[in-house]
């Protein structure tokens, strides 16, 4: 399914075959994410044709998904570890990074930029990068693609120094404005996009008892602020001889009843008092500072929720329309953990040799304090409902077991009646068996409503089907037996008639 190739000076060497019994690497694993350079790790053995051909930073690596005909990884060798195991075998382990990592190979140049758009500022950084690596043997250049992220004012005021290009892009743009970086290739041209993510929802479900193998939920409230101290610009000291390194700042005390803080009471009721400060160096007015603080609490005071999921990719066997891809939303359904919503895949691990072991990172969700409390209450109610459901279903299962016993008893009676050729009793036995099966079938649909008891339903359904097959077989046996008895009766009647005729003939002769 996956073909891995090395590229050295344009020469391609295959180091993993897509065929089941072909050439393989050891533990090849791709890790994909958002706003990170994707990585590819593998170990190669001495008998592999590419063992001596790999050079860090010079050798390119491509992983082709032959089922979709797309590149799941396109990058370069980054680092190497040579190893020997206890049994004396040798190997080399490599870490690779995708083409976003090319932006680590250049530095920016000093500059000050006023009233510049996001696109134009990013174009300057791309130009600096391309100039730095212009004469490299490997093509590492980028063309600026889609830019849909903008600032609140439409323009930027930024400085550039001699920092790493990728670090500069994150520091000057992504970390401040949000958005996502994306590398894509069209006709051999490498584009860098800077986009606002779109909510694209796929129809492939991740559902318990279907393709969900395991799930863990991580709740991170460490960024919660229940008491915020908004700080404005620094206040210059009137004492010319003051040497205090710490300067006072504008606060909201004058417009907030003497208190220099504001509170999120809903969050405080859940998490207690957690005091932090946020500074706005460009705000001089306490009233504006109070508005900024309230807006900050409203927009940023969230509990981070993340899921790590292991799910079977049923698209590999054509049982689902889409595979799981980073950046898309998928319906995730697990009633036990109170999950039933569209969630975004933000990370994916691909095991090239065992695709069924792939895992997903879902999230991050950001919940307000009230959302967090509502989720907790819903989970508590869900547990109570499940306890009641289990109690009800335990009684249903007991009833089903009784009916299964009745079915088996009726089958035994049926078998005995057939062996005894008790035709008069067969009709009543079959009636009893049919009634028992009907009562059993009336109970089974109630179980099917409970996803957690689906396996029990399948077992019971198989029991019913087996019994029905036995009933059908026995009914056929009854029909055959009835035919044999009819034939036997006809044969006896014929013999009786023949004997009677002979007796009549003898009587006539004696006269």
Q: Which two tokens stand for residue 26?
A: 């050891």
* CATH number of 426's domain: 1.20.58
pLDDT at 184 over 90: yes
pLDDT reported for residue 110: 96
Residues 281 and 140 in one domain: no
Residues 89 and 141 in one domain: no
pLDDT reported for residue 464: 45
CB-count exposure of residue 508 (10 Å: 0-12, 13-18, 19+):
exposed
pLDDT band at 220 (very low <50, low <70, confident <90, very high): confident
Q: Compute the distance between CA of residue 216 and CA of residue 337 in angstroms, rounded to an integer.
A: 10
Residue of 329, 255, 325 lying closest to 294 (CA atoms): 255
pLDDT reported for residue 240: 60
Considering the domain boundaries, does residue 191 fall inside one?
A: yes
Residues 14 and 127 in one domain: no
pLDDT band at 270 (very low <50, low <70, confident <90, very high): confident
Count how many domains the chain has: 5
**Is the Cβ–Cβ distance between 400 and 459 less than 8 Å?**
no
What's the distance, CA 75 to chain centroid? 25
pLDDT reported for residue 448: 42
Q: Which residue has the higher pLDDT, 478 or 20?
A: 20
Q: Compute the distance between CA of residue 332 and CA of residue 367 in angstroms, rounded to an integer.
A: 17
pLDDT reported for residue 217: 81
Question: DSSP readout, 251-314?
Answer: -SGGGTTT-S-EE-HHHHHHH---EEEEE-TT---HHHHHHHHHHHHHHH--EEEEEEEEE--G
Residue of 237, 325, 228, 315 lying closest to 280 (CA atoms): 228
Q: Which of 36-45, 120-129, 431-440, 477-486 has the lowest mean pLDDT?
A: 477-486
pTM of the model as a whole:
0.64
Q: Which two tokens stand for residue 141?
A: 């250049």
Considering the domain boundaries, does residue 453 fall inside one?
A: yes
pLDDT reported for residue 21: 87
Q: What is the mean pLDDT of residues 441-450?
A: 50
Using only C-alpha atoms, the chain has a radius of gyration, in whole angstroms, of 38
Residues 317 and 211 in one domain: yes
Considering the domain boundaries, does residue 187 fall inside one?
A: yes
CB-count exposure of residue 130 (10 Å: 0-12, 13-18, 19+):
middle
Q: What is the DSSP letter of 348?
A: E
Strands (E), 288-415: 303-311, 329-334, 339-351, 359-367
What's the distance, CA 440 to chain centroid? 38
Residues 400 and 487 in one domain: yes
**Is the Cβ–Cβ distance between 196 and 179 less than 8 Å?**
yes
pLDDT reported for residue 322: 83
Considering the domain boundaries, does residue 505 fall inside one?
A: no
Collapsed DSSP state (helix, strand, coil) of residue 332: strand
Q: Which two tokens stand for residue 224?
A: 């919660």
Q: Compute the distance between CA of residue 134 and CA of residue 126 in angstroms, rounded to an integer.
A: 12
pLDDT reported for residue 467: 46
**One-letter-per-residue 3-state SS of 83-149:** EECCCCCEEEEEEEEEHHHHHHHCECCCEEEEEECHHHHHHHHHHHHHHHCCCCCCCCCCEEEEECC
Residues 334 and 214 in one domain: yes
* CATH number of 7's domain: 2.30.300.10
Considering the domain boundaries, does residue 188 fall inside one?
A: yes
Considering the domain boundaries, does residue 119 fall inside one?
A: yes
Q: What is the mean pLDDT of residues 35-48?
A: 96
pLDDT band at 391 (very low <50, low <70, confident <90, very high): low
Residues 295 and 325 in one domain: no
- CB neighbours of 286 closer than 8 A, spacing ≥ 6? 232, 250, 251, 252, 253, 254, 255, 256
Collapsed DSSP state (helix, strand, coil) of residue 188: coil
Residue of 46, 55, 91 lying closest to 76 (CA atoms): 55
pLDDT band at 86 (very low <50, low <70, confident <90, very high): confident
Pairing of strands 11-16, 329-334: unpaired
Proportion of the chain above pLDDT 70, given as a percent: 71
**Is the Cβ–Cβ distance between 165 and 103 less than 8 Å?**
yes
pLDDT at 436 over 60: yes
C-alpha distances out from residue 110 to 160, 162, 166, Å: 5, 6, 15
Residue of 375, 230, 221, 377 lying closest to 301 (CA atoms): 221
pLDDT at 232 over 50: yes
pLDDT at 372 over 50: no
**Packing angle, helices 423-448 and 369-420, rounded to 10:** 170
Q: Compute the distance between CA of residue 130 and CA of residue 208 in angstroms, rounded to an integer.
A: 49
**One-letter-per-residue 3-state SS of 466-492:** HHHHHHHHHHHHHHHHHHHHHHHHHHH
pLDDT at 450 over 80: no
Strands ordered across the beta sheet of 275-279:
262-263, 227-231, 275-279
Considering the domain boundaries, does residue 415 fall inside one?
A: yes
Q: Which two tokens stand for residue 481?
A: 């037996």
**Is the Cβ–Cβ distance between 109 and 155 less than 8 Å?**
no
Q: Kindly report the length of the chain.
A: 511
- What are the pLDDT digits (tens) for 337-370? 888 889 999 999 999 999 888 999 887 544 444 4
Residue of 439, 367, 363 lying closest to 401 (CA atoms): 439
Collapsed DSSP state (helix, strand, coil) of residue 75: strand
Q: What is the mean pLDDT of residues 85-90?
A: 86
Q: Which residue has the higher pLDDT, 457 or 387?
A: 387
Range of the domain at 267: 227-236+247-300
pLDDT at 282 over 60: yes
Residues 351 and 268 in one domain: no
Q: What is the DSSP letter of 391?
A: H
Residues 483 and 382 in one domain: yes
pLDDT band at 216 (very low <50, low <70, confident <90, very high): confident
What's the distance, CA 21 to chain centroid? 29
Considering the domain boundaries, does residue 200 fall inside one?
A: no
Residues 383 and 474 in one domain: yes
CA atoms within 13 A on the CB side of 140: 28
Q: Compute the distance between CA of residue 169 and CA of residue 174 in angstroms, rounded to an integer.
A: 7
Strands ordered across the beta sheet of 143-147:
143-147, 189-195, 180-186
* CATH number of 155's domain: 3.55.50
- What are the pLDDT digits (tens) for 7-27? 999 999 999 999 988 999 999
Residues 32 and 113 in one domain: no
Residues 211 and 334 in one domain: yes
């Amino acid at each position: 399914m996956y073909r891995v190739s090395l590229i050295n000076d344009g020469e391609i060497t295959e180091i993993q075959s897509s065929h089941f019994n072909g050439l393989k690497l050891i533990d090849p694993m791709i890790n994909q994410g958002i706003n990170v350079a994707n990585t590819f790790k593998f170990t190669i053995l001495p008998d592999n044709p590419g063992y001596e051909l790999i050079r860090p930073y010079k050798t390119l690596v491509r992983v082709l998904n032959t089922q979709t005909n797309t590149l799941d990884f396109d990058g370069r060798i980054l680092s190497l570890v040579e190893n020997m195991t206890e049994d004396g075998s040798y190997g080399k382990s490599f870490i690779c990074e995708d083409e976003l990592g090319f932006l680590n190979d250049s530095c920016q140049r000093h500059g000050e930029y006023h009233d510049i758009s996001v696109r134009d500022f990013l174009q300057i950084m791309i130009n600096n990068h391309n100039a730095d690596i212009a004469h490299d043997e490997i093509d590492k250049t980028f063309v600026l693609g889609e830019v849909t992220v903008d600032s609140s004012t439409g323009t930027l005021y930024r400085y550039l120094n001699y920092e790493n290009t990728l670090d500069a892009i994150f520091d000057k743009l992504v970390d401040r404005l949000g958005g996502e970086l994306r590398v894509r290739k069209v006709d051999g041209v490498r584009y860098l996009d800077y986009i606002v993510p779109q909510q694209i929802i796929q129809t492939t479900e991740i559902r318990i008892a279907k393709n969900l193998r395991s799930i863990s939920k991580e709740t991170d409230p460490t960024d919660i602020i229940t008491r915020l101290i908004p700080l404005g610009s620094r206040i210059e000291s009137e004492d010319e001889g003051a040497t205090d390194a710490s300067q006072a700042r504008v606060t909201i005390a004058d417009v907030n009843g003497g208190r220099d803080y504001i509170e999120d009471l809903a969050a405080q009721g859940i998490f207690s008092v957690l005091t932090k400060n946020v500074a706005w160096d460009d705000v001089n007015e306490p009233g504006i500072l109070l508005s900024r603080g309230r807006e900050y609490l409203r927009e940023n005071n969230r509990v981070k929720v993340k899921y790590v999921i292991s799910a079977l990719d049923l698209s590999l066997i054509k049982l689902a329309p889409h595979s799981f891809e980073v950046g898309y939303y998928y319906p995730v359904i697990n009633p036990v953990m109170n999950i039933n919503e569209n969630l975004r895949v933000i990370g994916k691990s691909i095991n090239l040799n065992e695709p069924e072991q792939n895992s997903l990172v879902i999230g991050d969700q950001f919940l307000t304090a009230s959302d967090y409390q509502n989720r907790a209450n819903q989970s508590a109610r869900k547990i109570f409902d499940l306890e009641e459901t289990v109690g009800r279903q335990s009684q249903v299962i007991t009833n089903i077991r009784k009916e299964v016993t009745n079915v088996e008893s009726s089958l035994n009676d049926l078998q005995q009646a057939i062996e005894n050729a008790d035709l008069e009793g067969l009709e009543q036995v079959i009636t009893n068996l049919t009634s028992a099966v009907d009562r059993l079938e009336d109970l089974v649909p109630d179980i099917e409503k409970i996803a957690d008891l689906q396996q029990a339903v399948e077992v019971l359904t198989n029991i019913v089907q087996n019994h029905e097959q036995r009933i059908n077989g026995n009914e056929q046996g009854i029909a055959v037996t009835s035919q044999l008895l009819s034939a036997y009766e006809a044969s006896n009647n014929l013999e009786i008639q023949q004997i009677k005729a002979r007796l009549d003939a003898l009587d006539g002769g004696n006269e």
